[in-house]
Amino acid sequence: MKNFISGRGFRVFAFVAIVALFVLAPLVSTPFLNYQLSLIAVFGVAILGLNIIMGYGGQVSLGQSAFLGLGAYVAAYGIMHDWPILVVFILSCAIPAVVGMLIALAAARLHGLALAMITIALPIVGVPLAKRFSEFTGGAQGATVSWLRAPDWSGLASDQWRYYVVFIIAAVFFVIGRNLTKGRIGRALAIVKTNEAVAMSMGVSAYRYKVLAFTVASLFGGAAGFLYVAIVQFTSPETMSFHSSINMVVAMVIGGSASIIGTILGAAYLVFLPVIAGQIDPTQTALISGAVLLAVLFLLPHGLVSLPRRVSQLSKRSKRSLGRPTEDSSPQNSTAQEVVDIPESPK
Amino acid sequence: MAYFIQLIVEGFATGSIYGALALAIVLVNRSTGMINFAQGAMAVLATFVAYALTQTGVPLILAIVVAFAFAFVTGALIERVVVRRFEGGDPDTAVVVTIGLLILLTGISAAWFGYEPHPFPSLFPAGSIDIFGVFISIRSLGTIVILLIAMLLLQLLFRVTKIGLAMRAVADNPQSASLSGLPVSLLLMIGWGLAAALGSVAGVLVAPQLFISPAMLDFALVYALAAAILGGIDSPIGAVVAAWTIGIVENLAGAYIDFIGYDLKIAVPFVMVMVILIVKPQGLFGRKVVVRV
Amino acid sequence: MILLELKDVGAAYGAAPVLHEISFQVEENDAAGILGANGAGKSTTLRAISGMVSTTGSIRFDGKEITGMRPDQIARLGIAHVPEGRGTLGDLSVRDNLRVGAYQQRVHKTVESDIEYCLDLFPNLRTRISSNASTLSGGEQQMLAIARGIMARPRLILLDEASLGLAPSTAQRVYEAIARLRREAGVSMVIVEQNAGLAFRVVDHAIVLETGRITLEGPREKLMGMDEVRRAYLGS
């Protein structure tokens, strides 16, 4: 049985089954569920972008929501002015990408904390700017756009049509993201993440790759903004908020950073947790969310994606005879020999 | 002119609140190498404890002392029980742990008191004093003075006392410090406890003005982070100077530059921080980090 | 009188065992050496004693079982471990490093006179007393690390690879100071060294480790006379 599960055939089978599930789901589910699933695709793209700079690239970014919001505003503006949808899409990706690139060009030489602070500044500056420039953005009330209705020939309802459009676009981005991270760029980022000085000595310019990663992350963020407007049909300054950026970082780590599947799991967490917490007790959503988050981090510090690995680890340990000289009770610590009470020197 | 000086003094006062939180952030970072996003939420919870006590008739000063002690103990326990296992590990996970604490502690405050703001009694009498024609509120002066005292006490603690020396040693190299017999676990807890207590000071100082609510310090926290990083994350004095600068710039920009006005004035310090960091990456007071390969 | 006793001590890093059935004794006022090539498990033995690694078997200090105790608890019993890599507190000044070493001392005056003694033992440190420890050279940092251990007025000093990374003349000076310390203070020592020649200036007897096991042991005269030891270690 174990061989069957880890075998190649099973993986292909699982992949096909999941794809089929995603393709058929909207035909049988409620509009609300389709909406939720579509949001997973939207935030999946955004979190994938975040993963590229933060999970794979090792640079903390707390400003991803600013790019999502910017892309959403570009999309809303373009739709409202009846620009061709393809043009709107390209601009929703390109404008945030350019902004991200300019910021990275100026700031990528900074060390981690300073750059993180600059990413924090983006949503903080962005929200009041969005409120101020109300001719473009609709001000504090936001911009509503009604579009992407299902064409008659499809025989689908609008929520189903939007689901498919968004999923196809998201799938394309995931393929691009996967190829980027598995390829040369991904390897270079991994080296930069581990040790910038070593990267330099290998001819890998940390600066250049950080700018590249940041630009890609912003592009993905902008695309997610376009998809967001497609599903939600609305955007407002809240979309750019710092709070939203934090949620995406949390989702990334919970799902599993530096992992494509982890990104999807993280997006699912982001979308479904508030719903579930709201069901349990609407006045205590924060309390429940916080508790769940900490619980996941304690049990699965490498994210939900590490669940199968962790389960097999635990089952192996209980099978082994007890009384081994060193018990690794702190799964974080790769240096198993150190006595657990005392952390490594802060870097 | 008088208006200008008033704005500056008010800026010092709000800056002092950011500064107290920034000091707490620097303290936590020096002792355990983490950026604590929950610093504000911890302070708010302690302030709520003071609030609850005043509601039952306890005098304000006593309530504040209890809140201070509560913050110290809670901070120490949080370090030992929640944070300890993530120290020295992946920094992204550490950040998210503190965010989890932020959400949880905010949730506890909200479950206890709800989200609406409540009035909070002030330590200082209302009213202003007249200094050479400039009216400065007693509350602002008091806030600034308390922050200065806190800074002084911290300096004394670290430079002169044995326990301060021990905390510095543990911050530098916990394993090596333990080999000299230092009780590392206890000292790490004290670091967080002290930081939480500092935060509670910020909380009770600002609550009368902002009205206490679970999200009361959310904004101040972001400013405090900016101040801590701008000041060079390991420099307490840098953090406070940066915090004062942020407070003053925010006030002046909002008042004097028309196009900025009230809503955009929150953005000004961040633009300033961005520019300064790009020009001087280690912050105003930080040391240049030499990376040994 | 037996001060330190190891019986069948074993240790592992994760699943890989590093030490097997290590047994030896150190008496009061005694100095023992642990010799061997790289990776033989010498440093791990010291870490086992000071509690930095969890172990099987028994380690007794002054009659008391210390296996399973935390490093700071063991240090407070009177064992000073000068670790491999020196463990310098780089952000602190030299003086502050020494003050940390004296953390357990209650009386202020003895701390000051102890600092004087250390500066006498290691004159290089005197001019650098207010500098940040991270600005010291490798040799100076080694001297500082040993001095920090001395400040604790320990009954037993564990010295790990004191000559590592030092120029031969500097290493000589360090060992001369250690020898002097031994004569004047009578503190017991366990010295881990790859350079057996240096170690034998101070220690009376030694064990030789190879892949985590004791392969040779005995008094200095016996070991120095053995061909294997001469060839493998005295030459370096």
- Extents of the domains making up chain C: 2-78+154-234, 88-153
| Cβ(B94)–Cβ(B37) below 8 Å | no
Q: By CA distance, what is C148's nearest residue in B?
A: B180
**Across residues A44-70, what is the average pLDDT?**
92
The answer, yes or no, to whether residue A11 has pLDDT greater than 80, is no
Domain count, chain B: 1
HEC profile of chain C: CEEEEEEEEEEEECCEEEEEEEEEEEECCCEEEEEECCCCCHHHHHHHHHCCCCEEEEEEECCEECCCCCHHHHHHCCEEEECCCCCCCCCCEHHHHHHHHCCCCCCHHHHHHHHHHHHHHCHHHHHHCCCEHHHCCHHHHHHHHHHHHHHCCCCEEEEECCCCCCCHHHHHHHHHHHHHHHHHHCCEEEEEECCHHHHCCCCCEEEEEECCEEEEEEEHHHHHCCHHHHHHHHCC
Residue C84 forms contact with B (CB below 8 Å): no
Alpha carbon distance C205, C84 (integer Å): 21
User: Which pLDDT tens digit goes with each residue over A111-125?
Assistant: 778 888 889 889 988
> Cα–Cα distance between A95 and A101 in angstroms, integer?
10
B93 and C CB contact within 8 Å: no
The residues that bridge with C214 in the sheet, in sequence order, are C209
Contact A125 B270 (CB under 8 A): yes
| Interfacial residues of C (vs A; Cβ cutoff 8 Å) | 10-15, 17, 44, 47, 51-56, 70-71
Parallel/antiparallel/unpaired status of strands B134-137 and C2-13: unpaired
Question: Is A327 in the B-facing interface, judged by CB distances under 8 Å?
Answer: no
Residues 67-106 of B with CB under 8 A from A: 82, 84-93, 95-97, 99-106
Cβ–Cβ below 8 Å for A336 and C17: no
Return the ∠ at Cα A299 (arms to A296 and A303), rounded to 5°.
55
* DSSP β-ladder status, C79-82 and C156-160: parallel
> Taking 50 as the threshold, does the pLDDT of residue A279 lie above it?
yes
**Is the confidence at residue A339, as pLDDT, over 60?**
no
- ipTM here: 0.90
Per the listing, tokens 């569920």 go with A33
Of A20-29, C105-114, C124-133, which range is least confident? Answer: A20-29
Structure tokens at B252: 């002046």
> Is residue B190 in some structural domain?
yes
The count of other CB atoms within 10 Å of the CB of residue A154 is 11
pLDDT in tens, B174-185: 999 999 999 999
Going through chain B in order, the beta strands assigned E by DSSP cover 128-131, 134-137
In C153-182, the residues whose Cβ lies within 8 Å of chain B are none
Residue A256 domain flag: no
Question: Which structural domain range is residue B45 located in?
Answer: 2-214
Chain A CB within 8 Å of residue B35 CB: yes
SS3 A215: helix
Using the predicted structure, report yes or no on whether residue A328 has a pLDDT greater than 80: no
**Residues of chain C neighbouring B183 (CB-CB closer than 8 A):** 72
Shortest Cα distance from B219 to chain A (angstroms)? 10
DSSP letter for each residue of A131-198: HH-HHHH-GGG-EE----PPPGGGT--HHHHHHHHHHHHHHHHHHHHHHHHHSHHHHHHHHHHH-HHH
What is the reported pLDDT for A338? 40
Q: Read off the DSSP letter of residue A259.
A: -
How close A29 gets to chain C, by Cα (Å)? 49
A·C CB contacts under 8 A: 39
- B163 in a domain, yes or no? yes
Task: Give the closest of B162, B168, B179 to C87, CB-based.
Answer: B179
Going by C-beta distance under 8 Å and a sequence separation of 6 or more, which residues neighbour residue C197?
A: C233, C234, C236
Q: Is residue A176 part of a domain?
A: yes
Whole-model pTM above 0.80?
yes
Tell me the pLDDT tens digit for each residue of C51-91.
998 889 999 999 899 998 999 999 999 999 999 888 899 88
The kind and range of the H/E element at B30 are helix B2-32
A124 touches chain B (CB under 8 A): yes
The rounded Cα A258 to chain-centroid distance in angstroms is 10
Please report the residues numbered 134 through 163 in chain B whose beta carbons come closer than 8 angstroms to any beta carbon of chain C.
162
Among the partner residues B91, B111, B278, nearest to A107 by beta-carbon distance: B278
In sequence order, the 6+-apart residues with CB closer than 8 A to the CB of C163 are C171, C174, C175, C193, C194, C195, C198
The boundaries of the domain holding residue A151 are 33-240
Query: Of C52, C90, C148, which has the smallest distance from its Cβ to B180's Cβ?
Result: C148
DSSP-derived letter for residue A29 is S
Taking residues A133-157, what's their average pLDDT? 78
* Total domains, chain A: 1
Residue with tokens 């040391």: B287
Chain B, 176 to 195: residues with Cβ < 8 Å from chain C are 176-184
* Contact predicate C100/C148, CB 8 Å: yes
Among C18, C45, C47, C54, the residue to mutate for chain A (most A Cβ within 10 A): C54
As given in the structure block, the two tokens for residue A230 are: 């497609």
The residue among B28 and A191 whose pLDDT is bigger is: B28
Contact A70, A99 (CB under 8 A): yes
Architecture of domain C2-78+154-234: 3-Layer(aba) Sandwich (3.40)
Nearest CA in chain A to B232: A114
A109 touches chain B (CB under 8 A): yes
Mean pLDDT estimate for chain C: 89
Give the single-character DSSP code of A303. Answer: -
- CB-CB under 8 Å, A132 with B178: no
Residues 6+ away with beta carbon under 8 Å from B180: B169, C75, C80, C100, C101, C103, C148, C152
Across the interface, of C52, C75, C89, the residue whose CB is closest to B172 is: C89
